[in-house]
A and B are shown apart, each in its own frame.
Chain A
């Protein structure tokens, strides 16, 4: 009786230990993988057309969804913000509200979430399928490093695209907010821009937003690449890896956002 209980407890503990060791193993793999990607990065700049091709697929093809969402996010911010601000008689502050929320938070974060959904999944599925159809092994047979040829250009493409997309998001969002606030609601045009310009700081707000988007770009792309590279070479494995990319990227973005904000907002 007692020894039976003991073995049950031991089994549960063994299960936990097994999971933990597995996760640590995977994490170690991810770190080694990141190291290799950085090691082979030189290749992706020496053969720039590979990187440019990937910027086209991750950056340019994501433009539509980013710009349309930015426009709507900006418009909704202005509507909601006006509704609350006018209760306190300070509807001119709408410009500050829209610009600061976009530049500091929504621009980088929403772009990163959309980027993970639009470009990250594509990267994971592509690399996972390349692995499943043994294209990566074929490359290795021909003494072409798949990390240098396939992974590194995608990594740098993501890192370059993210800040550009986030900046476009913020800019188009401010335009959307302007369209709702000034022509539609009738906030004074001069007050809208001057309040915004007086309260948005270049170093504190805009540069910090760009730093955030670069970090998110690194995180999202690296997660997508690793999940694809690590996927079991089956149809099910690739589909699971794609799901994991979206879930892990979103969680990583939100957690990193909190950590970075807590460092940036302190005086």
Chain B
């Protein structure tokens, strides 16, 4: 075969391969919106984080506003310290509450930010979110439910 034809086909092949890698990165991996953009870091301490993992989304009003950057255990306070990377475009007041929620019944866990709106100053780089709510542990919830049921049964029977 002639050399120019071979060159052409190899060129097409290389371009298609590169396009496939780029397409995977953009369309499948969603590189464009996940990591780029300026962020600021805040921390929050939880007594129990349940199954929260690094890279889990941080949502406010259902919108993803950041990601969980890291999780470590503080051996002085015996709490889990979660580092959150939040998008610079979204400032939050200092009295924001961080909760750990579960997406769906058994889905992955994420951090939800709820705003009380009483304070005027906003969270800055390195700040700590003071008000937090732990993850709901299913076993704890069931045992609480059972205890409360057991407590109210005799009053029902005495009627």
Contact = CB atoms under 8 A, between A and B. Distances in A.
Q: Do A and B come from one complex?
A: yes
Interface of A: 49, 52-53, 55-56, 59-60, 63, 99, 103, 160-161, 163-165, 167-168, 170-172, 174, 193, 196-198, 200-202, 205-206, 210
A56 B10 contact: yes
A132 to B, nearest CB: 25
25 contacts: A49-B3, A52-B7, A55-B10, A59-B13, A103-B24, A163-B17, A163-B21, A164-B17, A164-B20, A165-B17, A168-B17, A168-B20, A170-B24, A170-B28, A193-B27, A196-B28, A197-B28, A197-B30, A198-B57, A200-B29, A200-B30, A202-B34, A205-B29, A206-B28, A210-B21
Interface of B: 1, 3, 6-7, 9-10, 12-14, 16-18, 20-21, 23-25, 27-31, 34-35, 55, 57
Given A52-B10, A60-B9, A171 B20 contact: yes
B14 A164 contact: yes
Contacts, number: 78
Given A49-B3, A60-B9, A167 B21 contact: yes
A55 B23 CA distance: 22
B29 A201 contact: yes
Contacts of A163: 17, 21
B interface SS class: helix
A201 B21 contact: no
